[in-house]
Amino acid sequence: MRSLLAALLFLFSCPGRCMYLESDQNTSIPEGWINAGRVAASDQVQLTFALKQRNVRELRELLGRVSDPDSSQYGKHLSLEQLSFLVQPSELTQKVVRRWLESHGVHDCQSVETQDFLQCAMPARVAEKLLPGCEFSRYVNRHQSLVRSPVPYGLPDEMSEHLDFVGGVHRFPDSKVALRRTWANGKKQKAEFHLGVSPSILRQRYNLTASDVGSSQNNSQAVAQFLEQFFHPADLAEFMKLFGRGFKNLPEVERVVGKQGGGKAGLEASLDVEYIMSTGANIPTWVFTNPGRHESQEPFLQWLLLLSNMSAVPWVHTISYGDDEDSLSQAYMQRINVEFMKAGVRGVTLLFASGDSGAGCMKASKGGNTFRPSFPASSPYVTTVGGTSFKNPFQVTYEVTDYISGGGFSNVFEMPDYQVNAVNSYLKGMKALPPKTYFNTSGRAYPDVAALSDNYWVVTNRVPIPFVSGTSASTPVFGGILSLINDHRFLKGLQSLGFLNPRLYKLQESASTALFDVTEGCHLSCLDEQVQGQGFCAAPSWDPVTGWGTPNYPHLLTALGD
Ligand SMILES: *[C@@H]1O[C@H](CO)[C@@H](O)[C@H](O)[C@H]1NC(C)=O
Ligand SMILES: *[C@@H]1O[C@H](CO)[C@@H](O)[C@H](O)[C@H]1NC(C)=O
Ligand SMILES: *[C@@H]1O[C@H](CO)[C@@H](O)[C@H](O)[C@H]1NC(C)=O
Ligand SMILES: *[C@@H]1O[C@H](CO)[C@@H](O)[C@H](O)[C@H]1NC(C)=O
Ligand SMILES: *[C@@H]1O[C@H](CO)[C@@H](O)[C@H](O)[C@H]1NC(C)=O
């Protein structure tokens, strides 16, 4: 009904020929947001134009070579300047976009080093003329106010060959916090007796000794977060005082990029920082936090713009942002995927949480259900981290699947070459798989690796809180361990690990012991008659629940430290 109305409006408001770049973007307003009415015509909005890049195929091929340990180009990463030379939009594209904006009186624009984004401020009235169809309203929830359009935007036909999408129009910041308090979940009652996961438990389980801490001058790591959350330096200091005994650590972050509010600390924000700095101990750590906070910004996109505008960024980033693939436009996901390639070719490692809904669930178009993959977990150019719990919650013994661990097969991205053998072995080897109609075996399968995700201690607002769980806990833990390996590499004068997957899959296919294989347990999915709440199950070698498994640091270091 609404799309019909939108189409009519669109015909009316877009004389001449017009295009929708993101007609498949979900433009409904997520729960919890209240429409506070149309913005005034003179209210400023800020739009982010993603200009078409050059040489995307060359970028993909180059990333393959610099990430393949058997290539003579392995580790030959690009500087931001070199990357910019490769991908920046053609003169024509840059000129056409600028001229179009200027012809509407839009002059207040900022570009990035790679010239492939343009961020411009303008009155809402001008934005609505630029993008026929869209209608900006203000939406508020308890913490925040945003400007978005519930109606899809069009573009003059001649612009569509120069732009991938326009940001700041539709997407809301993620509402899915990949975190939960275990005690709230009836299924996990017995966990209440557990002493909980702390840095010393993690370091013991993953075989980190007291001397396994960073010492290279060149090393750095980061967490990025996009919620309206802050971390308090005092929480980190308190956390290290309580839990940081027995290994050298830093009680302060090195740098906060973006604006930290003064409000209450968020659980997620505290967790990420406290744990990346516990495994990646003594390594300078940055926090990227929702910067700028213009009402019409997309915080996740904002972080990617920052990466394209800073010549020196940390080597490892861990991120807990995720959305259902089916709610995002193809144009957006494909372009964001290129942004991940850009990071990889610079030697930056991106780790994403696999999500906390197992295989997920959605109604299929023909009725019935299918699993529901999550993005960016499903991107072939990031390393995705699933979750585990201890088999015996009283002891530091072996790990089994955490039933929430996100995993499955993308419906958007084809399966990359590096994982074809691993995934096919899993599919062939399993006696019982979910019904074929529930997942797409031609897609990128995830996660790649895992770590403990259950029953963490976190200090937030100065108070130690137990029972914090989710793959947003396992992700910084794995990230910190990769940073330790980078540290050894830097001390030897080698390059960073960069995009890890091609090397990781090769390593694991050679019967490596660098990761503990998690082989027990299944994750959750649709509560229907066909699958009855069960998604995929873990198995020997790679599986779409815990990937290749959890880190055994000394062996991982031997394998990747060169
Ligand atoms: C679109 O978003 C709304 C609000 O978040 C949600 O209820 C709905 O299920 C989504 N639809 C699809 C197809 O993802
Ligand atoms: C990128 O950096 C330049 C130079 O520091 C700055 O002028 C510009 O505003 C930045 N771009 C964005 C989109 O913030
Ligand atoms: C790592 O620790 C486990 C027990 O947690 C032990 O079985 C294993 O031998 C250790 N591996 C190494 C390489 O130290
Ligand atoms: C490490 O930092 C030093 C000093 O800043 C620099 O000379 C050197 O090239 C860096 N090494 C690597 C591997 O980046
Ligand atoms: C399955 O995944 C591929 C990408 O590998 C995609 O092209 C195709 O549309 C997907 N099929 C469905 C039914 O979503």
Cβ(139) – ligand 4 distance below 6 Å: no
Flag whether pLDDT at 185 surpasses 50. Answer: no
For CA atoms 98, 101, 102, 106, give the dihedral sign: negative
Is the domain of 397 the same as that of 546? yes
> Residue 520 burial by CB count (10 A; 0-12/13-18/19+): exposed, middle or buried?
middle
In this structure, the number of other CB atoms found within 10 A of the CB of residue 488 comes to: 18
554 CA: nearest ligand 3 atom: 13
Q: Give the model's pLDDT for residue 280.
A: 98
Q: What is the pLDDT of residue 295?
A: 82
Buried b / exposed e across 120-131, counting CB within 10 Å, b at 16+? bbbbbebbbebb
In a domain, 47, yes or no: yes
> Tokens 């929830």, residue?
141
Q: Is residue 309 domain-resident? A: yes
User: What per-residue confidence (pLDDT) applies to 180?
Assistant: 57
Residue range 438-464, pLDDT digits in tens: 999 999 999 999 999 999 999 998 999
Cα–Cα distance for residue pair 68/357, rounded to 1 Å: 32
Q: Which atom of ligand 2 is nearest to the CA of 305?
A: 13
158 lines ligand 5 (CB under 6 A): no
Same domain, 411 and 288: yes
Question: pLDDT class for 7, splitting at 50, 70, 90?
Answer: low
User: Residue 399, exposed/middle/buried by CB under 10 A (0-12, 13-18, 19+)?
Assistant: buried
* Distance of CA 110 from the midpoint of ligand 2 (Å): 6
CA 53 to ligand 5 center in whole angstroms:
25
Is the per-residue pLDDT at 364 higher than 60? yes
CA of 119 to the centre of ligand 2 (A): 10
Q: Is residue 372 part of a domain?
A: yes
On the question of pLDDT at 524 being above 90, the answer is: yes
Tell me the C-alpha distance between 122 and 515, whole Å: 51
Distance, in Å, from the CA atom of 322 to the CA atom of 352, rounded to the nearest integer, reads 8
C-alpha 462/C-alpha 519 separation (Å) is: 38
Q: How many percent of the chain have pLDDT more than 90?
A: 82
Of the listed ligands, the closest to the CA of 47 is: 2
Q: Which residue CA neighbors atom 2 of ligand 4 most closely?
A: 218
CA atoms of 256 and 238, how far apart (whole Å)? 18
Model confidence pLDDT, tens digit, residues 258-285: 877 666 777 888 899 999 999 999 999 9
Closest CA to 242 of 457, 63, 549: 457
**Nearest alpha carbon to residue 127 among 145, 144, 109:** 109
User: What domain range includes position 452?
Assistant: 207-430+440-516+537-560
Judge contact between 82 and 345, C-beta under 8 A.
no
User: DSSP alpha helices (H): ranges in 346-470?
Assistant: 420-429
Contact 275, 268 (CB under 8 A): no
Q: Has residue 202 got a pLDDT over 50?
A: yes
Ligand 4 atom with the smallest distance to the CA of 493 is 13
318 & 414 share domain: yes
CATH label of the domain that carries residue 545:
3.40.50.200
Nearest atom in ligand 5 to the alpha carbon of residue 411 is 2
pLDDT at 65 over 50: yes
Atom of ligand 4 nearest to the CA of 496: 13
Residue 526 lies in a domain: no
CA angle 273/277/282 to nearest 5° reads: 145
Range 198-202, long-range pairs (CB < 8 A, 24+ positions): 198/243, 198/456, 198/457, 199/243, 199/244, 199/247, 199/275, 199/278, 199/279, 199/281, 200/243, 200/245, 200/246, 201/396, 202/275, 202/278, 202/279, 202/451, 202/452, 202/477
Structural domain includes residue 184:
no
Query: Are residues 213 and 161 part of one domain?
Result: no
Q: Mean pLDDT, to the nearest integer, of 98-116?
A: 97
Residue 192 in any domain: the answer is: no
Q: Give yes or no for residue 543 having a pLDDT over 60.
A: yes
Predicted pLDDT of residue 269: 84
Say yes or no: CB of residue 440 within 6 Å of ligand 5: yes
Ligand index nearest the alpha carbon of residue 329: 1
Global pTM reads 0.94
CA of 32 to the centre of ligand 2 (A): 33
Q: Spell out the alpha helix ranges (H) of 257-404.
A: 267-279, 299-307, 330-345
Report the alpha-carbon angle 21-343-219, nearest 5: 155
* pLDDT tens digit sequence for 340-361: 999 999 999 999 999 999 999 9
In this structure, are 144 and 285 located in the same domain? no
Tell me, yes or no, whether 253 and 363 share the same domain: yes
Q: Where are the alpha helices (DSSP H) in 78-146?
A: 80-87, 91-103, 124-130
- The closest ligand to the CA of 172 turns out to be 1
Burial (CB count <10 Å: 0-12, 13-18, 19+), residue 417: exposed
Residues 297 and 357 in one domain: yes
Distance from C-alpha of 164 to C-alpha of 333, rounded to nearest angstrom: 10
In angstroms, rounded to a whole number, what is the distance separating the alpha carbons of residues 302 and 295?
Answer: 12
**228 and 331 co-located in one domain:** yes
Residue 202 resides in a domain: no
Q: Is the pLDDT of residue 182 over 70?
A: no
The confidence band for 377, taking pLDDT boundaries of 50, 70 and 90, is: very high
pLDDT in tens, 232-253: 899 999 999 999 999 999 999 9
Same domain, residue pair 157 and 214: no
- Tokens 């201690």 belong to residue: 457
Measure 270 CA to ligand 4 centroid, in angstroms: 31
Kindly state whether residues 211 and 145 are assigned to the same domain: no
Total domains present in the chain: 2
pLDDT above 80 (res 16): no
Distance 78 CA to ligand 4 centre (A): 15
- Per-residue pLDDT of 395-442, as tens digits, reads 888 999 999 999 999 999 999 999 999 999 999 999 999 999 999 999
End-to-end CA distance of the chain: give it in Å, rounded: 59
**Looking at the domain assignment, is residue 181 inside a domain?**
no
Same domain, 239 and 129: no
Q: Is the CB of 75 under 6 A from ligand 4?
A: no
CA nearest ligand 2 atom 5, residue:
309
> How confident is the model at residue 296, as a pLDDT?
82
Pocket of ligand 2 (CB under 6 A): 110, 112, 119, 305, 309
At residue 231 the predicted structure's pLDDT band, cuts being 50, 70 and 90, is confident
Å from CA of 120 to ligand 5 middle: 35
Nearest CA owner, ligand 1 atom 12:
327
Report the relative pairing of strands 456-460 and 463-469 from DSSP bridges: antiparallel
The reply to whether 251 and 162 lie within a common domain is no
With a 6 Å cutoff on the Cβ, whether 30 touches ligand 1 is: yes
Which residues are part of the catalytic machinery? 268, 272, 472
